[in-house]
Amino acid sequence: MLMMKNWYKNVYHKLFHLDDRLLLIIAGSVTGVFSGLASVVLRLSLESALKWLHPFQQYWWAFVFPGIGALLSSFYLEKIAREGAGHGVPEVIYSVSRYGGLLRFRSSYSRIISSLLTIGSGGSAGPEAPVVMSGSSIGSSIAKLLGLNDRQRITLVGCGTAGAIASIFNAPIAGLVFAVEVILGEWKFVNIIPIAIAAVAGTEISQAIIPEQVIFNHQMFKVGFYDILPSLCLAVVTALISVLFTKALRQTGKIAKKTPFSLWTRAIIGGCVVGIMGMFMPVVLGEGYHFIQSMISGTFAMGGFIVFLAVFAKIFATAVTLGWGGSGGIFAPCLVIGSLAGIAFHNVMSGLFPSIECASQGAYALLGMTGIISGVMQAPLTGIFLIVEITGGYETILPLIIVSSLSSTMSHYIEPASFYFKELIERGQFLRPGTDARILSDLNISEIIETDYSKVSENMVFREFIELLKNSHQHFFPVIEDNTGEYRGIIQISAIRKYALDPGMYNMIFLNQIMDTEVITASLENDLQEVLDMMDINNMDTIPVVENDWFIGMISKTRILDLYRRELIMQTSV
Amino acid sequence: MNYKLLHIFRNTPFGRETFLQSLYFCKTINAFPVAYIPKSDKFLMYFPNDAVQVDLDHSYLRSPETAKDNAQGLFNEMGIKPMFYEPKNFTASSLPDISTNFDYLCCPRSVSDLSSRIGLGHIGPKVRRIIKHATFPVLITSPVYKPWKSISVFFGGSKNALSALRAGLKISMSSGLPMSIYTLLEKKGESYFRQLIEKNGLEEPVSQFSSQWHFYKKHDFDTLLYDVPHDSLIVLGAYGHGIIKDILLGSKMEHIQSTVTNNLLITGPHCSISLR
């Protein structure tokens, strides 16, 4: 037994005292494998669910399927998994920003099950955000198991994200870029290598289990000089649609909460509405990958005006699915909306300028997808790499860059926060590494407080205080009540000069006569940002901290600056 | 002294008992109770290495319109200034983050299991996880309000037991109540425990604040439990067994809490207590 214990200690010691980067690479690849497995499980389950329900889709009552799916999904999330329902990706970003990537273990499976119920029954949503949530949670759990620190845990959360995205789209570069651009928000050498390896591990595991997995077949596109100007116009169109989609997603959820219906009724109503829409326009149902494939390959059979309508129908269906109780992500809907928008744009352009030799409908579907992904997520690199990787459309790289960068810039101009970030920004919780808000939030108020202050009694005679002053370097003296020790006020040396220069007053006054009782005080409950605001408004360099009438200490701007610099160096060092 | 205890308020007769217990605890050791009246049936606590989601049973959300008044009434009854906790951050709209920046936390034996909410029952898995990760001691109250007049520390020599001893000393210092130490001699003799205390610099405070040190033989654990005064606060360290050992050998903490009705103050492995 003792030998076993020693052996275990030895192995543990060797493994966890490895070089930091090596440890992260090993843990990252394990995370990538598990998050890849999670996305494979979801993909296979979705395929089975859709296959199983397919024979019933011909019946008129099939519109209830998305309703039942949404009901089961919300019931599962609320009553069984007891997740506080959210979109998923913002929760990961929030945890990375605020709590060093700590995520609940239950999130590693709960969103997979709930999104399977929603999407498998026909709800308009994508499986990507759930697998991101799952992969991130797996990364976080592995980090907890290994007892890693916050920085290492955040890297593993990124590894989980990258592995999941890489696996579901068979696109390792897109996985890496999404993890760094959207989730972590920082390009650091120490992060990139483990995340890249996790993305490769995720892709490999998915290819090993589903070798035939290719979401979209590669096509050859001929893109020329004449496509540059239309690309610019398409970027404007996709930016506007992105803003509309973002607003629709947010507003529908708010409207749903204002209705008198229960969560369950809302889920059924929302799902059934999508089901009814799907009977007339099947492109709105599910994740819609096969529709995207037909749009890219130029075999999409819908007429021009119907395609135009389908853009708005898909936006509405996704907003209703996610806002009224369903579970899933917006990645796949973005791709469907983008490809529909691209085709609609191509149709309009061909109608107006029939003589121009521009690229095929399929190429514009790709450009549309990039435009919407970049506009909604305001992540241009993710948009470019994802589309290039999943479609193999390297010939379209130049217009892709134009559409992606212009669409994300324009949508950022109209709507400064992306869909993923908006809620966090509104709550003041969007804290990217190296930013002022993040540094201030990472500084603990208790480490900033200087507690080494001598307190004085309110009944102390001024002469005694002068004697005390002779041997003290303090500029502030907290005054306390004799019996209870409660804080009464403060004596600031600069404010009592007139008494100190008049020895005749020394025996005539007590400290409670000259102390300042009006000084603004901070409490341990305040954030550092609040404390700084209080100091700025009241033009103070030092503020007393008082909690439950007890003097705790003082906070000075000098001390804040010292710790701020230390934290900034730590967060921005490679 | 500016110690704060967080109490998750339950607006029921049972909740009143546990809240009175928290108020009494705070009054005795000069700490400040802070009541959190939950608005949703779950919340998250982010500890340094884990995020613990606490799923509350529905009794915590009962009669929200009277909850604050009732809590305030109990504060007034005990002559304590009312303080309420409002969460600032939310992981999701219905999932508030509750600060872990407290010195004590009061938990009933289970927060999410209706079947054991009145009786002694088992310590719920959530309460166990909180104990495992908390940097503060967790107060598990008796089922009914039961003021305590002394402190009993269970000291088995482990790291957690040393934390428990420090917590017991600290409470004894701030309350002025007598403290007794109870030790079960399993493999080591009395001298080992005395040396351990000396090695950890606790000899002086122990001799100053501890009135008695009781030693029991290996199989006298139930006698030990019976000897502990019924009106004593039991302070103990969480026994750091893994789940397998707990299943095979049984959890000692579970045995204690299901045998005695005293208030328990439990220190977990991450609990750091300073006597300063």
Query: Confidence class of residue A14 from pLDDT cuts 50, 70 and 90?
Result: low
Q: What is the pLDDT of residue A156?
A: 95
Which amino acid, B263?
N
Query: Confidence class of residue B71 from pLDDT cuts 50, 70 and 90?
Result: very high
Cβ-Cβ contacts under 8 Å, B50 against chain A: 102, 144
| C-alpha angle B100-A554-A463 in degrees, rounded to nearest 5 | 140
User: Residue B50 and residue A144: Cβ atoms within 8 Å?
Assistant: yes
User: Residue A102 and residue B93: Cβ atoms within 8 Å?
Assistant: no
Beta bridge partners of A478: A490
Q: What is the pLDDT of residue B115?
A: 43
**Which pLDDT tens digit goes with each residue over A521-560?**
998 888 888 889 899 998 888 899 988 888 888 998 888 8
| B191–A contact, CB cutoff 8 A | no
Query: Confidence class of residue A314 from pLDDT cuts 50, 70 and 90?
Result: very high
Beta bridge partners of A242: none
Minimum-distance CB partner of B42 among A82, A94, A102: A82
Mean pLDDT on B116-126: 56
- Name the more confident of A222 and B200: B200
Name the CATH topology of A18-209: Clc chloride channel (1.10.3080)
Q: Render A65-99 in DSSP notation, one character per residue.
A: HHHHHHHHHHHIIIIIS------SHHHHHHHHHHS
Determine contact, residues A133/A81, Cβ cutoff 8 Å.
no
Which amino acid, A45?
S
Q: At what angle do helices A64-75 and A263-280 cross, to 10 degrees?
A: 150
Eight-class DSSP state of B55: E
Closest chain A residue to B32 measured between Cα atoms? A548
Closest chain B residue to A106 measured between Cα atoms? B53
Q: What share of chain A is helix, strand, coil (3-state, %, to 5)?
A: 70, 5, 25
Measure the CA–CA gap between A494 and A503, rounded to whole angstroms.
17
Judged by average pLDDT, the poorest of A455-459, A496-500, B4-8, B221-225 is A496-500
- Cα B116 to Cα B14, B121, B248: the distances in Å are 12, 5, 23
Closest chain A residue to B54 measured between Cα atoms? A82
Eight-class DSSP state of A504: G
Helices marked H in B118-202: 125-133, 159-175, 190-199
Given a cut of 80, whether residue B242 has pLDDT beyond it is: no
Minimum-distance CB partner of A103 among B51, B92, B94: B51
Mean pLDDT on B229-258: 71
Start-to-end Cα distance in chain B: 10
Q: What is the pLDDT of residue A163?
A: 95
Q: How far is A427 from chain B (nearest CA, A)?
A: 8
Judged by average pLDDT, the poorest of A140-149, A172-181, A497-506, B103-112 is B103-112
Percent of chain A with pLDDT over 70: 95
Name the CATH topology of B4-140: Rossmann fold (3.40.50)
Q: Give domain limits for chain A.
A: 18-209, 225-424, 440-572
User: Residue A547 and residue B90: Cβ atoms within 8 Å?
Assistant: no
Cβ-Cβ contacts under 8 Å, B90 against chain A: 427
Q: Give domain limits for chain B.
A: 4-140, 150-262
Q: What is the pLDDT of residue A1?
A: 55
User: Residue B51 and residue A524: Cβ atoms within 8 Å?
Assistant: no
Q: What is the pLDDT of residue A442?
A: 80
Q: How far is B193 from chain A (nearest CA, A)?
A: 23
Q: What is the pLDDT of residue A326?
A: 85
Mean pLDDT on B170-189: 88
Average pLDDT, chain A: 86
Cβ-Cβ contacts under 8 Å, A106 against chain B: 53
User: Residue B42 and residue A84: Cβ atoms within 8 Å?
Assistant: yes
Q: At what angle do helices A228-258 and A419-426 cross, to 10 degrees?
A: 50
Q: What is the pLDDT of residue A427?
A: 80
Q: What is the pLDDT of residue A397?
A: 84
Pairing of strands B138-140, B264-267: antiparallel
Instruction: Count A/B contacts: CB-CB distance under 8 Å.
Output: 54
Query: Confidence class of residue B237 from pLDDT cuts 50, 70 and 90?
Result: confident
Name the CATH topology of A440-572: CBS-domain (3.10.580)
Minimum-distance CB partner of A429 among B40, B89, B93: B89
Closest chain A residue to B53 measured between Cα atoms? A104
Measure the CA–CA gap between A240 and A387, rounded to whole angstroms.
20
Q: ipTM score of the complex?
A: 0.81
Minimum-distance CB partner of B91 among A91, A106, A527: A91
Half-sphere exposure of A24 (CA within 13 A, CB side): 22
Q: Which long-range contacts (CB under 8 A, 24 or more apart) does B118-126 make?
A: B118/B14, B118/B143, B119/B143, B120/B257, B120/B258, B120/B261, B121/B258, B122/B254, B122/B258, B123/B253, B123/B254, B123/B257, B126/B52, B126/B53, B126/B54, B126/B55
- Cα B90 to Cα A44, A394, A414, A429: the distances in Å are 34, 42, 27, 9
User: Residue A85 and residue B94: Cβ atoms within 8 Å?
Assistant: yes
Q: What is the pLDDT of residue B249?
A: 46
Q: What is the pLDDT of residue B116?
A: 52
User: Residue B51 and residue A552: Cβ atoms within 8 Å?
Assistant: no
Cβ-Cβ contacts under 8 Å, B89 against chain A: 98, 427, 429
Determine contact, residues A433/A571, Cβ cutoff 8 Å.
yes
Q: Is A339 helix (H, G, I), strand (E, B) or coil?
A: helix
Q: Render A181-205 in DSSP notation, one character per residue.
A: IIII----HHHHHHHHHHHHHHHHH
Pairing of strands B42-47, B50-55: antiparallel
**Which pLDDT tens digit goes with each residue over A389-447?**
887 767 788 888 999 999 999 999 998 888 888 888 888 778 887 788 888 888 878 78
**Which pLDDT tens digit goes with each residue over A455-481?**
888 888 888 888 888 888 888 888 988
Q: How far is B170 from chain A (nearest CA, A)?
A: 19
Judged by average pLDDT, the poorest of A40-49, A320-329, A429-438, B6-15 is A429-438
User: Residue B51 and residue A95: Cβ atoms within 8 Å?
Assistant: yes
Start-to-end Cα distance in chain A: 43
- Name the more confident of A57 and B140: B140
Q: How far is A268 from chain B (nearest CA, A)?
A: 21
User: Residue B42 and residue A104: Cβ atoms within 8 Å?
Assistant: no
Determine contact, residues A366/A238, Cβ cutoff 8 Å.
no
Mean pLDDT on B116-138: 70
Q: How far is B31 from chain A (nearest CA, A)?
A: 10
> Rounded to 5 degrees, what are φ and ψ at A259?
-70, 155
Cβ-Cβ contacts under 8 Å, B91 against chain A: 84, 86, 91, 94-95
Determine contact, residues A313/A341, Cβ cutoff 8 Å.
no
Percent of chain A with pLDDT over 90: 29
Which amino acid, A239?
A
Paired tokens of B85? 């906790």
Judged by average pLDDT, the poorest of A496-500, B46-50, B63-67 is A496-500
Closest chain A residue to B91 measured between Cα atoms? A91
Do A18-209 and A440-572 fold alike per CATH? no
Measure the CA–CA gap between A247 and A375, rounded to whole angstroms.
12
Among B1, B2, B80, B102, the residue to mutate for chain A (most A Cβ within 10 A): B2
User: Residue A99 and residue B93: Cβ atoms within 8 Å?
Assistant: no
Closest chain A residue to B52 measured between Cα atoms? A104
- For B217, the enclosing helix (H) or strand (E) is strand B210-217
Query: Confidence class of residue B20 from pLDDT cuts 50, 70 and 90?
Result: very high
Among B49, B98, B174, the residue to mutate for chain A (most A Cβ within 10 A): B49
Comparing CA positions, the residue from A367, A27, A387, A331 lying closest to residue A182 is A331
Q: Render A158-175 in DSSP notation, one character per residue.
A: HHHHHHHHHHHHT-HHHH
Q: Render A371-411 in DSSP notation, one character per residue.
A: HHHHHHH--HHHHHHHHHHHH--GGGHHHHHHHHHHHHHHH
Given a cut of 50, whether residue A190 has pLDDT beyond it is: yes
- Cα A505 to Cα A459, A463, A472: the distances in Å are 15, 8, 21
| B84–A contact, CB cutoff 8 A | no
Paired tokens of A168? 């579901």
Judged by average pLDDT, the poorest of A214-223, A483-492, B128-137, B210-219 is A214-223
Paired tokens of B262? 């005293």
**Which pLDDT tens digit goes with each residue over B72-94?**
999 999 999 899 999 988 888 78
Comparing CA positions, the residue from B188, B185, B187 lying closest to residue B215 is B185
Minimum-distance CB partner of B92 among A85, A98, A548: A85
Q: What is the pLDDT of residue B216?
A: 87
Cβ-Cβ contacts under 8 Å, B55 against chain A: 82
Cβ-Cβ contacts under 8 Å, A446 against chain B: 101
User: Residue B81 and residue A548: Cβ atoms within 8 Å?
Assistant: yes
Minimum-distance CB partner of A547 among B2, B40, B90: B2
Q: What is the pLDDT of residue A529?
A: 85
Q: What is the pLDDT of residue A342?
A: 93
Closest chain B residue to A146 measured between Cα atoms? B49
Q: What is the pLDDT of residue B107?
A: 79
- Name the more confident of B243 and A182: A182
| B89–A contact, CB cutoff 8 A | yes
Q: What is the pLDDT of residue B118?
A: 47
Measure the CA–CA gap between A386 and A178, rounded to whole angstroms.
9
| B44–A contact, CB cutoff 8 A | yes
The CATH number fitting domain B150-262, selected from 3.30.390.30, 3.40.50.300, 3.90.1150.10, 3.40.50.620: 3.40.50.620
Cβ neighbors of B33 (< 8 A, separation 6 or more) are B4, B5, B7, B22, B23, B25, B26, B75, B80, B83
Closest chain B residue to A545 measured between Cα atoms? B2
Eight-class DSSP state of A180: I
| B83–A contact, CB cutoff 8 A | yes
User: Residue B92 and residue A83: Cβ atoms within 8 Å?
Assistant: yes
Residues of A with CB under 8 A from a CB of B: 82-86, 91, 94-95, 98-99, 102-104, 106, 144, 147, 427, 429, 446, 524, 527, 547-548, 550, 552
**Which pLDDT tens digit goes with each residue over B244-266?**
555 444 567 777 877 888 898 98
Paired tokens of A40? 């494979």
Judged by average pLDDT, the poorest of A115-124, A128-137, B1-10, B111-120 is B111-120
Minimum-distance CB partner of A104 among B1, B53, B89: B53
Measure the CA–CA gap between A446 and A439, rounded to whole angstroms.
15
Measure the CA–CA gap between A153 and B47, rounded to whole angstroms.
14
Q: What is the pLDDT of residue A131?
A: 92
Q: What is the pLDDT of residue A5?
A: 65
Question: Which class is A225-424 in CATH?
Answer: mainly alpha
